[in-house]
Structure 1
Amino acid sequence: MKVFKVKKHILFISVLVIAGIIICCNQGAASDDRQSANGKVYYISKSGKDSNTGTFKKPWKTIQHAADKLTAGDTLYIRKGIYKERVVPKNSGESGKFIVYSSYKGEKVTIDGKNVNLPPTGEYGDLFGLFEISGKSYIKVNRLRVVNALTNAGSNGILLSDSDNIIISNNYVGNTQSSGIGVWNCQNMTLTGNEINKACKGGQQESISVAGTDTFEIKNNKVHHTNTKADKEGICVKDGSSNGKVYNNLIYKVPAAGIYVDAWDKHTYGIEVFGNVVHGISNSDGIQAASEMGGLLEDIKFYNNISYNNKYRGITITRNGDEGGSHPMKNISIINNTFYNNGDDWGGGAAMDNTEAEDVVIRNNICSQNRSFEISVSSDVPVQNTAVENNLLYSYKSDLEDGEVTGIDFVEGDPLFINPAKGNFHLKDTSPAIDKGSSVDAPEYDFDGNTRPQNGKYDIGAFEK
């Protein structure tokens, strides 16, 4: 009898546990259905109706219908499918209460602009976005595919203008006439984890364009296969932008510069470019800094970048624009980068040819096996304007025509990369770059995030051994 009672108790407890699990699951679904941390949760589905209530069981049908209704703190989950529509959010979020647009857990959502008209709106009459945020705050766009923004030359995949505190994360943007992602006159912007493919088919702007924007991060993005006929750049920071960071991005198979920092005609300053990999640029340099139309480019730092196998140079401090115009620059540093195998018929590692640039530093870089020169400073650049120090040069050619220089305290020899053919530029234990760098303004961390220095002395190049 005692054994029988124990079995009855176990059976009764098991029933209670199962019932509890079912109740909890139902409560979880209901909670997920209607409430986020700071607002409500809504749903979109291809099988929904805009006359529905927007719940999980009664979802809306169009994203724009939701975009007209969402308020601060609300989250919109979009179910799998292809949505042929343009999206323009009506409302802003608030500090701590972002409005979130996201695909539903693990589902593939595509906003497809094929045959969708992108009319001109607002101040930027020649730029339009398939997903466009204008004059708004505290919005996050996450895990969407935005493709085929093809209506006209100014069609962007995602366009942000006159907005602040916007996060664009983990999206795929492809096949656009203009930028994959364009950011104009904004503040506090984050572009992270996005993939941009086949942008700039119409020749306007760049794959990622950031102009007139203060305080921003462009990080962990992958940019590739920009349209070759358009001859446009990968990531471009320009035209009065300030206080920004461009880091941990991968740029490849782009026709023009992989990363381009250009003042255009406005004071552009406080930009850090670090930890990026640029390779396979088909018709330009890996990285460029310029002032095309007379704006002052100031306080720009390039460090821990890897630029290799590009058409011309690994990095260039240049002018571009009108030869007869002004191209001012000040305080430009190129420190602890790795430049390898740049130059097809002609080209090199690092080059400085802007005669108006002041206080340029080229220090602690590895320049190895580049085509025409390792480091070049044009003969018409005033000597006092550029410091070249503590670089490792492999295959120095004494190319006076291209202004090749060694600088001071340089190291000459094979840097002994682990496997450069596979893009592995870590140093072997016997590399001559180890412990030969300068501590002056050296980055606190290397490309991998390891602390500098190791063992008390600084290495040359993007990696600390």
Structure 2
Amino acid sequence: MRLLDGHGFASRSLLVTGHGLFGEVRLAARITGLTSNATFGATAQSGASLGFAVSGLPDGVTVTGQSWRTSSAGELATTATYAPDASTNDLENLFVVLTLSDGESIQTPASIIRHPAPVAGTLAPVLEVQGNGTPSVNLAAGFTGADLRYSASPAWITISGSTATIADALRSEVVAITATNSGGSVTVDLAVSIAVRAPVEVQVSPSGNDTTGDGTVLAPFATPQAAQAVMIPGDTLILRPGVYDPFEVLLNGGAASRITVATLPSEVGQAIIRGDLQQHVAYGGPGVAQDNATRDGIRIDGKSYITLRGLTIEYVWRNGVFIKGAGQNTVTGNHIVEDCLVRHTGLSGIMACGERPELAVGANDAFRTRYVTIRNNEVTQTNVVTDYNDTVTNSFGEPGGVGEAITLANSLRYAYVYNNYIHDSRQYGIDFKNHVVDGEITGNRIEDVVRYGIYLDAGETDVRRILVDGNIIQRCRAGIVIAREEDGNDSGDNLIVEDIDLVNNTLANLSRVGIHYQRHPNKDQQDIGYFRRVRARFNTLYNTNTDGSYRDISIDGIATFGVNRAGQQIVSGIELIGNLAWNPDGQMRMATDVAGDPRFTVAQNHNVRNGAFVGDDPLFVDAANGDFNLRAGSPARAKVTTAAYIAGLYAKDSNGTAHVLPTSAGAYYAAA
């Protein structure tokens, strides 16, 4: 067999020996009909009619047979002409083996089989309004060619086969779509415009229909889940009166386009999210744990810019509202919960956290949830007994939840709890605990809570820069408690209570203590970290030790702290200034044995000094009915005389009236 000495596409010669009569003869064979490809040169193009040509045959020698072949497929045809098919032999090397009449054979150089290069057409622009679903484009409509593969630049378009899917997000952009096959590639521009639509209200009603509904007044959806499928940032999910199962908020809003779940203004409180407090009939039967979406009344997990307004949430297995971050090194938040009624919950009424409280976070954790506002809500009957917590015991040895009415916890920064009414509830009223920094607890009314009205707890990390201002706390075990429940773990000097201001609070009819700075007897016994710059000014305490054997104010327990591992004083900058305390029987009991200790300042108060003593009646207007303004002639007037004590945060009383020196002790200003 004679082989050509090269593999080019042009005719080339081969030295043939063994024909002595003719001397040296140059014999050449080649494939004819090749197509010139702009990218690859001469190509055995799919569908083209190919032949062959032979030159330099000796006299009398003819071609008696031909075999079209590829190295992988073997013989394809024995005809004089052949049309290759790239659908089966794409990118294979095509050649012809020619049989000569003298018994010899020769082979042509190989040519690569390729599809014809694709040809560009046009793609219709995508012009959509956000919220109308996910647009798709048939890319094959913009090109002519076989075996095309598509790509996009920029690559935010998702391509599957010949279908491009465009995310429902605001954009105006030209995307280059490239079609490629073995013959080459070509690009067509695709213009995409997803425009803003005006925010809409998407309505849900128990009488609605998730299949036929469209979210309008006349055709509401039946469930919040179905409604969310058509919503975009800026929309409001309107729950019409009726009862709904617990649900999860699945969408993210934006700074100027919040997702809101609310009622109509005339229907506040009439949309009821009702769980299955004990029997789990709706969620799996007795003893079967609910999933994340249904164990809380409304769950917001790893989302941002959500508002809940005007809802009733009740009989929930765990938390009424549960807000959680998205995980480590991810920041979510900017949530508002307002004007809601939350009642009968197995854990907290409203809980917001960076991470679930049972999971540890470090003191340097970068605050997974930020900016949460909880305002103007009513929260009651939390931590009730359910079959979730009936084997859990609280500090009284009773079954039930161990949360709070309102909980802010575990890697959260910028927490604001305003003007809520919390009452008739187990455990605590408001708790900021474990890595909560920069927040305010102001204007809340807390009544008939079994344990503490307000609890600030560093936990195993820190609680810092918290303002507690203008709250009214009545008929609880304790008014305001500040502690570090470190649980005996080695938190080192990252265990911090710092920059806490208690201002203008009214604490009345408490069974054990009004203000307590606690060194926890079981969980804070290491000399580590800091407890510093905790300032209580202009608070009113009335009847705050009804049990008679405890203390109206207790702060000297933290005086037992020494120096931390850095060699610095753990306790410093502790203040009791301008406060007023009084019990109806005149018997005062204080634990403020810090005289001469430079870490403490106890000054210009009324009835605040260490030990048991008979106080001076401050002459409240009507303490029995909650009027703690001072009558004329009160000995608590003109008590504060130092200008620095009424600067900044302390410039006004609980009613917003500016202090003028000399000013009165307590939360209610009275001129001298």
**TM-score for both structures, normalised by structure 1:** 0.81
Aligned residues: 401
Q: Which residue of the partner structure matches residue 158 of structure 1?
A: 321
Q: Which residue of the partner structure matches residue 380 of structure 2?
A: 197
Q: Which residue of the partner structure matches residue 385 of structure 1?
A: 599
1:360 to 551, 574, 578: 574
Q: Which residue of the partner structure matches residue 146 of structure 1?
A: 313
1:291 aligns to 2:484 (yes or no):
yes
Report how far residue 243 of structure 1 moved. Answer: 0.6
Query: Which structure is larger by alpha-carbon Rg, 1 or 2?
Result: 2
Q: Which residue of the partner structure matches residue 225 of structure 1?
A: 424
Q: Which amino acid aligns with 1:462?
A: A
Q: Which residue of the partner structure matches residue 449 of structure 1?
A: 656
> How do residues 179-328 of structure 1 correspond to structure 2 at under 5 angstroms?
179-185=348-354, 186-201=369-384, 202-211=400-409, 212-227=411-426, 232-281=427-476, 284-293=477-486, 295-320=495-520, 321-322=522-523, 324-326=525-527, 328=530
Runs of at least 5 residues in structure 2 that lack an aligned partner in the other structure: 1-195, 284-288, 326-331, 355-368, 385-399, 562-570
Q: Which residue of the partner structure matches residue 429 of structure 1?
A: 632
2:200 to 28, 34, 40: 40
Q: Which residue of the partner structure matches residue 10 of structure 1?
A: none
CA distance in 1, matches of 2:197, 2:467: 34
Is the 1:67–1:87 contact (alpha carbons within 8 Å) kept by the matching residues of 2? Answer: no
Q: Which amino acid aligns with 1:261?
A: L
Q: Once superposed, what is the RMSD of the aligned Cα atoms?
A: 2.4
Report how far residue 323 of structure 1 moved. Answer: 5.4
Q: Which amino acid aligns with 2:275?
A: G
Runs of at least 5 residues in structure 1 that lack an aligned partner in the other structure: 1-35, 407-411
Q: Which secondary structure state, in structure 2, belongs to the residue aligned with residue 384 of structure 1? A: coil
1:102 to 250, 254, 262: 262
1:333 aligns to 2:535 (yes or no):
yes
In structure 2, do the counterparts of structure 1 residues 378 and 121 end up closer, same or farther at CA, with 3 Å as the change threshold? farther
CA distance in 2, matches of 1:260, 1:99: 31
1:136 aligns to 2:303 (yes or no):
yes
Q: Which residue of the partner structure matches residue 461 of structure 1?
A: 666
What is the percentage of aligned positions where both structures have the same residue?
A: 25
- Would you tell me which structure has more strand in proportion to its own residues? 2
Is the 2:578–2:605 contact (alpha carbons within 8 Å) kept by the matching residues of 1? Answer: yes
Report how far residue 120 of structure 1 moved. Answer: 4.8
Is the 1:297–1:330 contact (alpha carbons within 8 Å) kept by the matching residues of 2? Answer: yes
Greater relative contact order: 1 or 2 (C-alpha under 8 angstroms, separation 6 or more)? 1
Q: Which residue of the partner structure matches residue 290 of structure 2?
A: 119
Report how far residue 382 of structure 1 moved. Answer: 7.8
In structure 2, do the counterparts of structure 1 residues 375 and 121 end up closer, same or farther at CA, with 3 Å as the change threshold? same
CA distance in 1, matches of 2:511, 2:341: 27
CA deviation vs aligned residue, 1:155-194 (integer Å, no higher than 9, x gap)? 1000001131100001001111100001111211100011
CA deviation vs aligned residue, 1:108-160 (integer Å, no higher than 9, x gap)? 111000244473549xxxx952201011111100000000112xxxx100000
Q: Which amino acid aligns with 1:288?
A: V
CA deviation vs aligned residue, 1:216-251 (integer Å, no higher than 9, x gap)? 210110111113xxxx21100010101100000011
Is the 1:156–1:182 contact (alpha carbons within 8 Å) kept by the matching residues of 2? Answer: yes
Q: Which residue of the partner structure matches residue 168 of structure 2?
A: none
CA distance in 1, matches of 2:222, 2:602: 61
Q: Which amino acid aligns with 1:452?
A: H
CA distance in 2, matches of 1:461, 1:214: 30
Q: Which secondary structure state, in structure 2, belongs to the residue aligned with residue 421 of structure 1? A: helix
CA deviation vs aligned residue, 1:396-428 (integer Å, no higher than 9, x gap)? 7953xxxx8x9xxxxx63211110000110111
Q: Which amino acid aligns with 2:659?
A: R
Greater CA deviation, 429-438 or 187-196? Answer: 429-438
